[in-house]
Structures are given as C-alpha cells and as structure tokens.
Amino acid sequence: MTMTPAELEAQKETLELLNTEAASRLTRQSESLAKIDTKTVFLIGFAATAAQFLATHKHHDVLAYCAFAAYAVALFTGVLTIRVAEHKELEPPQMIADHVHLPKSQVLAVLAASRASIFEVNARRQKLKARYWGISLWSLVAGLGLSTVALLLHT
C-alpha cells in the first residue's frame, strides 16, 4: 500500500499507535524466545545428567538402551532448539542512514511495516523452537520413564 505524503501526515497518530504496538509485540516475542532457550538449557542439562546416572548403575539392557535413545533425542532436539537462528531485529544504523531525511510520518510507516515483517519472521522461528522444545521435553519424559523401569527391573 502506497500512500501520498499528505495521506501519511493525516495518519501520523495512527502510525504512532501502530508502531508503538509493533515495538511492544517484538519485545514480548523476544522475551518469549529467551524463555524457550532458558528452559532448553535446563532440559539439556537434566537429560545429560539422567543419562550419566543410568550409565553408572546396573540396569535392564534393552530398556536402558531405549532410555539412552530417548535421552539422545532430547539432547539433539534441545541443541536444535538453541541453534535455531536468533530473532531478527531492526538495524538502527542502516535505518537511520536510509530514513533520516524523511518526514516523521513516512519514517513511522516504514518502522511499522519493518516491525510487522520482522515479527512474522520471528514468529516462524518461535514456532520451530517451541516444536523442537516439545519434542525434547517428551523425549526426556520417555527417557526418565524407561530409565526408572530399567533400574527397577534389574534390582
């Protein structure tokens, strides 16, 4: 959608509102991505510890191997969760260089559109991170269950 400078100027208050909302949504999205990463680090550590514990105790072999496989999936998908590219953000130096000469209404329109585009890219990454995290969590749960049974059956 292309607006004339006069139309942009007439919509300046609306553009400010949209830009403020887009900025706050990006902030919340960034916080959500960081929370997924934090949870993943704990999950990876727990899976590694549980696998080491199982490896150092006598266990039922078949169930233990299945537990190790589940822990491996948990670790692998946990690493994929963290590995997924970081969220995209505005690049202030480039933004300033490209838009310093424009009127405020045009800059607000560009900022709002840029933030909306960035939000969409980040939303796809967030969904992928959440999917990997879910797989990692359920693999850990399966590994813990199998480990428990493997240890109990041996005693």
Mean pLDDT split into 10-residue runs, the chain, 155 residues: 74 82 87 90 96 92 95 96 74 78 83 87 90 96 96 84
Residue 88, SS3 per DSSP: coil
The reply to whether 3 falls in a domain is no
pLDDT at position 144 is 96
CA 50, CA 53: separation in Å to the nearest integer?
5
Domain of residue 83 covers: 33-154
pLDDT at position 87 is 62
pLDDT at position 1 is 58
The reply to whether 86 falls in a domain is yes
> What is the count of structural domains for the chain?
1
The reply to whether 26 falls in a domain is no
Cα-based distances in Å from 42 to 18, 19, 23, 120: 37, 35, 29, 28
> What pTM value is reported for the model?
0.79
The reply to whether 11 falls in a domain is no
The reply to whether 102 falls in a domain is yes
CA 21, CA 116: separation in Å to the nearest integer?
10
